[in-house]
Structure 1
Amino acid sequence: MRVFLAFFAILLVSGAAHAQRFPSEGFADLNERLSPAVVNISAAQRVGGEAGLPAFPEGSPLERFNQLFGDDAPRIANSLGSGFVIDPDGVVVTNNHVIDEADEVEVTFPDGRTFPAEIVGRDPATDLAVLRIQSDDPFPHVSFGDSDAARVGDWVIAIGNPFGLGGSLTAGVISARGRDAGGQYDDYIQTDVAINTGNSGGPLFNLDGEVVGVNTLIYSPTGASVGISFSIPSAIAEPVVSQLLEFGETRRGWLGVNVRPVNAGVAEALGLGSPRGAVISAVDPDGPAAAAGIQQGDVVLRFDGRLVPDSRSLPRFVAETEIGRRVEIVLNRRGQSRTVTATVERLEEEGAPASTPRTATQTPVNGGEVAGLTLAVLDDASRRRWRVHADAAGVLVTAVDPTSDAAGKVRAGDVIEEVAFTRVETIADVRRLVGEANGEPVLFTLNRGGQFVLQTLEP
């Protein structure tokens, strides 16, 4: 009987703990506590009138439109969004795209109070911005939470200004983590919370009332919510906000490398067991990576004590590192592990992307086919025609068989520099090395517009 009672008590305690995570009475208490700190953002941009537009005659029923369409009348483009206060002194966080190029920004609270806002700083790379408003009285505010602790399936709520309808609450769960939308530092939280136009810049709360994300994007074929929304995790947003407050700009770390993903074939060829890390595709000769001895083709597995799970993580880890800090970097170089030390410098500007090679229109007479690739000698004429990078040396790819394993991995205009870690100079070299693999997957090192790409091909 005592055992039964003890077990029953454990169930009651466990049930109470779960009740806190899944509120049976809804989210009303959270809304009352949090919504006073969630604001509507109105941004206006003054645009000069276009010359040459006729004015309507005085006394005409359409005369009132002269103010809008007259030669000298300014136009005002408005943008609506959301934001949230994180400091009682009036620090407001929102999305950069909400206030981008704005001449005037206003912040409106749920109680109707409106304040002009100063733009403290913006960061287009993460789409974050910080505003400041002034008042003699402290503002209601909320705090950042730990987004790294948020799990798929956790309840979250969003409060914001969808379609200009301020003070709207929606709820759902975290659907996925680590989503990428093409940005350099993307690591979005995906939720099924209804997010619409005007929610941008608003907070995503956990059930403790902490901000774990900044609502930023939706995926939708219709333009309205279809249950796939993306939020910047607080682990990214909070450091950016702190830097904007302190410096008025971001100060990110820089290593001087470009990276690409490690696919299953590359992982197998290097003996990694599973795809992880980041392939170094290019090294700035004047950067800290070059000074540390990092080379193209190296795979970074660990940075400053942190495992590098994928190629998107490394740029973020570097960016978050303190300027001037010396870090240890664990590499896999051609199947061998090694450790180097680099000093992180400040990122001044981002490099331009490499040009995309042109598509083949005809096959050169001196060409040959290997593993679904049409190959040609790399001479001065082919360099000019295919706009091959000056540093590239090897065998030129002029066409790719769309039915081969190389389709989608290799592009016309790529230069094969190595096959199975062996330098190649002729088509015969490529053919021989592929043949020596006896039908097994072969690792190709490609030069694509000055960046190195590793691809494993099935012959």
Structure 2
Amino acid sequence: MKNIANLLLVSVFAGVITLGAYKLFFEQNTYIFGDSETTPYTTASYTPTSAKGAGINEVDFTSAAERTVNAVVHVKNVAINNGPKNIMEFLYGYETDSRPQVKGAGSGVIISPDGYIVTNNHVIDGASQLQITLNDNTTYQAELIGTDPNSDIALIKVDTNHMLPYLAFGDSDNAKIGEWVLAVGNPFNLTSTVTAGIVSAKARSLGGSNQSFIQTDAAVNPGNSGGALVNTNGDLIGINTAISSQTGSYVGYSFAVPSNIAKKVIDDILEYGNVQKGILGIKTPSLNTPYAIEKGLNELTGIFIDGVEEDSGAADANLERGDIIKKIDEVKIKNFPQLNGYLATKRPGDEVQVTIEREGELLTIPVVLKERQTIILPIMDLEVKNLNDKDRKDFRTKKGVKIVGVSERYEGYGLDGKVLLAVGDNEINDINDAKVLFGKITKYHSTSITMLNKKGEKERIILQ
């Protein structure tokens, strides 16, 4: 029995030695991945995987949201109804107390500890009273400081005895497409609502306007208007203003006034009482016309100058029709909303470096921006400009505005080149006066308009 056990142990050791020798000296390692003669491979990333996971989970929105919600307020637009409550009051003239009615609501952003708040003009438009509710449900009455309908920005203020939480303006020019952002506001009267998205586009225009917006896919609904758009650092980079929707509610894209534009508007209101806008003084063609398509202007990268306004910064700098604006300062210009958005941060008297392409050559020309000298008047759609020294001498007048463009409706009336002096009994001093007075013209009453021709003769037309 002992001999059998020894024989079995020797056999096992012999088998192990034989198998080991075969593996070591004779067997070849062969791995087959496919039929190709070349070995297929995949690219692998050796970056350590985050414990939080990938994508949106890598971004921490909590600190930005916590910092923002307390600086965003609910704005209630209250109008006083002075009309009669019922037919008996209308017939017999009973005196009743005026009743406040909520006309609308939106959001606002506190931008200083002493109570200055930025919101949208359309949120506070027509208000008799403004009620502000903070995130802690404290309510204040606010006063309107100033507004700019063109940019849809308004500044209001509350009086308080203690310091309020606020957000400082960030630099919207540094916002990047694809960057995460938060929209904070009061949609549908739901206070302190935070939504997240990315910057979808910059220098976006809406409804044919040339205003420059930041486009995002953060959910924004009625009531968000005037609220904050912030990045993940909590920097205020925009004021939420509009949505693009056929239903009136959010369907995918929202739009914010860039913070650099909003800040400039607020600074102007505080310093000057109105918005100081510096312009180049160029004319651009409509890109969807057959002329523009035939000439390839709709495919240009840059701004094609189709004309230069008289007495403008562009005229002083000798910019010419046919020049293509490629860059202003260090900002590349691709379209007119982008140009308009950059210039909206400038004032009359500011100098910008305009890089143009002229006959295949790039030139950089300094241009001093000026106040707008021309404007399109409401009702008649006349283009008028302020008088210069030559005009005052030629027409022998110190007041009025010169007609430099006439709409098709009035082409046969011989208006072009004449000076508008008055609307009714109200004299016109400049284009701002003309805009206000023409804006008051109504189709329900006839209006007399006084003009001056090149012979120094006064003429009158009656609008009915």
The TM-score, its normalising length taken from structure 1, stands at 0.64
Does 2:206 match 1:181?
yes
Please identify, of 106-115 and 40-49, the stretch whose mean Cα deviation from structure 2 is larger: 40-49
The answer for the alignment partner of 2:193 in structure 1 is 168
Counterpart of 2:387 in structure 1 is: none
Task: Describe how 1:283-298 pairs up with structure 2 within 5 A.
Answer: 283-298=308-323
What amino acid is aligned across from residue 143 of structure 1 in structure 2?
A
1:229 and 2:263 are equivalent in the alignment:
no
1:32 aligns with 2:71: no
Deviation readout 1:102-160 (Å, 9 max, x if unpaired): 22112110111111112222111111111111211100112222333333332222221
Which structure 2 residues correspond to residues 29-68 of structure 1 after superposition, within 5 A?
29-49=63-83, 53-55=87-89
Q: Name 1:414's counterpart in structure 2.
A: none
Q: Is the 8 A contact 1:49 1:75 kept in 2?
A: no
Distance change >3 Å, CA 147–CA 10, structure 1 → 2? farther
Higher-Rg member (1/2): 2
> 8 Å contact 1:268–1:274 — kept in the other structure?
no
The more displaced of 192-201 and 305-314 is 305-314
Tell me, yes or no, if the aligned pair for 2:205 and 2:211 is still in contact at 8 Å: yes
Of 11, 23, 40, which residue of structure 1 is paired with 2:47? 11
Alignment partner, residue 238 of structure 2: 213
For residues 363 and 267 of structure 2, the distance between their equivalents in structure 1, rounded to whole angstroms, comes to 35
Secondary structure at 2:211 match in 1: coil
Residue 33 of structure 1: how far off its partner (Å): 3.1
Q: Secondary structure at the residue paired with 2:257?
A: strand
**Which residues of structure 1 form unaligned runs of 5+?**
1-7, 59-65, 357-381, 392-459
Per-residue Cα deviation, 1:304-357 (whole angstroms, up to 9, x for no partner)? 45432222223333343343234443334455655544321123774449969x
| Aligned counterpart, 1:243 | 268
The residue that corresponds to 1:79 in the other structure is 104
The total of aligned residue pairs comes to: 347
Alpha-carbon distance in 2 for matches of 1:384, 1:233: 39
- Alignment partner for residue 256 of structure 1, among 261, 264, 281? 281
Q: CA deviation at 1:170?
A: 1.9
Question: In structure 2, what is the equivalent of residue 95 of structure 1?
Answer: 120
Of 128, 135, 149, 1:124 maps to 149
Q: In the alignment, is the contact (CA less than 8 A) between 1:279 and 1:311 conserved in 2?
A: no
Q: Provide the rounded CA distance (Å) in 1 between the counterparts of 2:172 and 2:351.
A: 27
- 229-238 or 329-338: bigger deviation: 329-338
Q: For residue 80 of structure 1, report the CA deviation from its aligned partner.
A: 0.3
2:216 to 191, 216, 234: 191
Partners of 1:46 and 1:74 within 8 A in 2: yes
Pick aligned residue for 1:346 from 371, 384, 389: 371
Q: Is the 8 A contact 1:161 1:198 kept in 2?
A: yes
Moved more, 100-109 or 72-81: 72-81
Question: Structure 1 residue 262: deviation in Å?
Answer: 6.5
CA distance in 2, matches of 1:30, 1:385: 57
Distance 2:359 2:220 in 1: 46
- Mapped to 1, the partners of 2:161 and 2:59 lie a distance apart of 37
Structural mapping, 1:370-389, within 5 Å: none
Residue 302 of structure 2 corresponds to which residue in structure 1? 277
**How far did 1:25 drift?**
9.0
C-alpha deviation, 1:203, in angstroms: 0.5
Q: Secondary structure at the match of 1:46?
A: strand
Contact 1:144 1:238 in 2 (8 A): yes
In structure 2, relative to structure 1, the CA distance for the partners of 1:120 and 1:73 (3 Å cut) is closer
**Structure 1 265/23 Cα, relative in aligned 2: closer, same or farther at 3 Å?**
farther
| Alignment partners' CA distance in 2, 1:383 and 1:76 | 42
Partner AA of 1:11 in structure 2: T
Residue identity matched to 2:71: A
In 1, the alpha carbon distance for the partners of 2:313 and 2:238 equals 33
Return the alpha-carbon distance in structure 2 between the equivalents of residues 345 and 290 of structure 1: 11
Corresponding residue of 2:175: 150
CA distance 1:98–1:125, shift in 2 (3 Å): same
Following the alignment from structure 2 to structure 1, what is the Cα–Cα distance between the partners of residues 241 and 303?
27
In structure 2, relative to structure 1, the CA distance for the partners of 1:246 and 1:10 (3 Å cut) is farther
- Counterparts in 2 of 1:328 and 1:11: CA distance versus 1, 3 Å: closer
Conserved in 1, the CA contact under 8 Å of 2:144 and 2:157?
yes
State the match for 1:111 in structure 2: 136
Residue by residue over 1:60-108, the C-alpha shift from the partner in whole angstroms, topping out at 9 and shown as x without a partner, is xxxxxx99xx898566352200011121111111111101122211211
Contact residue 43 and residue 79 of structure 1 kept, 8 A: yes
- What is the root-mean-square deviation in Å for CA atoms of aligned residues? 4.1
Taking a change above 3 Å as real, the CA distance of residues 148 and 326 of structure 1, as seen in their structure-2 partners, is closer
Q: Counterparts of 1:383 and 1:30 in 2: how far apart (Å)?
A: 54
Q: Does the CA-based 8 Å contact 2:311-2:373 persist in structure 1? A: no
Q: Is the 8 A contact 1:42 1:80 kept in 2?
A: yes
SS in 2 for 1:88: coil
Give 1:42 deviation, angstroms: 0.9
* CA offsets 1:381-412 (integer angstroms, 9 cap, x no match): x9988899969xxxxxxxxxxxxxxxxxxxxx
* Cα deviation code 1:176-200 (max 9, x no counterpart): 3332104655222222222111110
Q: SS of the counterpart of 2:184?
A: strand
Amino acid at match of 1:257: I
Change (3 A) 1:219 1:326: closer
After superposition, the C-alpha distances for 1:407-434 in whole angstroms (9 at most, x for unaligned) are xxxxxxxxxxxxxxxxxxxxxxxxxxxx
Tell me if the contact between 1:36 and 1:140 (Cα under 8 Å) persists in the aligned partners: yes
Deviation at 1:16, TM superposition (A): 8.1
Greater Cα shift, 334-343 or 302-311 = 334-343
